[in-house]
Amino acid sequence: MERILERDAPAFETLFARYEEMLRRYLMRTVRNDDIANDLVQEAFLRVWTKAEQWSGKGTFKSWFFRIATNLTLNHLRSVSRRKEQPLEIPADEENGDEPKVPGWMIDMTAIGSDKALELAERKRIFRRVIDQLPEEKRDVVRMVYEAEMDVGEIAETLGIPKGTVKSRLHYATRQLAREWRDEIE
């Protein structure tokens, strides 16, 4: 970060190479749109470059950076909720027997058979829906742990809450996920 403060482009490129894919995966789980996730990734890195002097040096860079990305994402989601957007694609008509489309990234056809792939895709869809039903503060913690691979300290720093609160939210979220999952698959 000291080198980025001095406008050292190779240092920024190193930072970009280290965090870009991890941040993209984290954001994709939240916004579920490649274009929006890419825009948010670019905006987060732009903020690092243009507002590097705001980093206090306390804590880890990753926590500070993911806080920037989380705030950008929350702002985006708030603005989307204010203006209702309609998808351009027409969803499958499940009532008439048409199957919903499954994104290709959810299925690795070389590793498993087509029946198993469809079952796995359905389970992932259900699991994502169950995660989406969690209260926002618990959902954010779950995503940071499992998608951004952040530890409790990093999450606490990113969200500006005590570590105990992170642990509590994660505990109750996993209990709720387990309960909802059992209800869904039975």
Q: Which pLDDT does position 110 carry in this prediction?
A: 56
Q: Is the pTM of this model over 0.75?
A: no
Q: Which pLDDT does position 101 carry in this prediction?
A: 54
Residue 69 lies in a domain: yes
pLDDT band at residue 90 using 50, 70 and 90 as cut-offs: very low
Residue 127 lies in a domain: no
Give the separation between CA 151 and CA 144, rounded to whole angstroms.
Answer: 8
Other C-beta atoms closer than 10 Å to the C-beta of 92 total: 13
Residue 177 lies in a domain: no
Residue 143 lies in a domain: no
Q: What is the mean pLDDT of residues 132-150?
A: 86
CB 55 within 8 A of CB 67: no
CB 46 within 8 A of CB 128: no
Residue 126 lies in a domain: no
pLDDT band at residue 6 using 50, 70 and 90 as cut-offs: confident
Residue 76 lies in a domain: yes
Domain that holds residue 14: 1-88
Residue 1 or 83, more confident: 1
Give the separation between CA 168 and CA 165, rounded to whole angstroms.
Answer: 5
Residue 186 lies in a domain: no
Q: Which pLDDT does position 17 carry in this prediction?
A: 94
User: Percentage of residues in the chain with pLDDT exceeding 70?
Assistant: 81
DSSP letters along 50-62, please? HSGGG--S-S-HH
Closest CA to 145 of 175, 166, 172, 124: 166
- In terms of Cβ atoms closer than 10 Å to its own Cβ (0-12, 13-18, 19+), residue 37 is buried
pLDDT tens-digit series, residues 35-74: 999 999 999 999 998 888 888 878 788 888 998 999 898 8
Q: Which pLDDT does position 128 carry in this prediction?
A: 83
pLDDT band at residue 93 using 50, 70 and 90 as cut-offs: very low
User: What CATH number is associated with residue 24?
Assistant: 1.10.1740.10
Q: Which pLDDT does position 98 carry in this prediction?
A: 53
pLDDT tens-digit series, residues 177-186: 888 878 877 6
Residue 108 or 176, more confident: 176
Q: What is the mean pLDDT of residues 104-118?
A: 60
The structural domain count of the chain equals 1
Q: What is the mean pLDDT of residues 145-168?
A: 88
Q: What is the mean pLDDT of residues 21-38?
A: 91
Residue 52 lies in a domain: yes
Q: Which residues are within 8 A (CB) of 31 and not within 5 positions of it... i.e. 6 or more apart?
A: 37, 40, 73, 76, 77
Give the separation between CA 129 and CA 122, rounded to whole angstroms.
Answer: 11
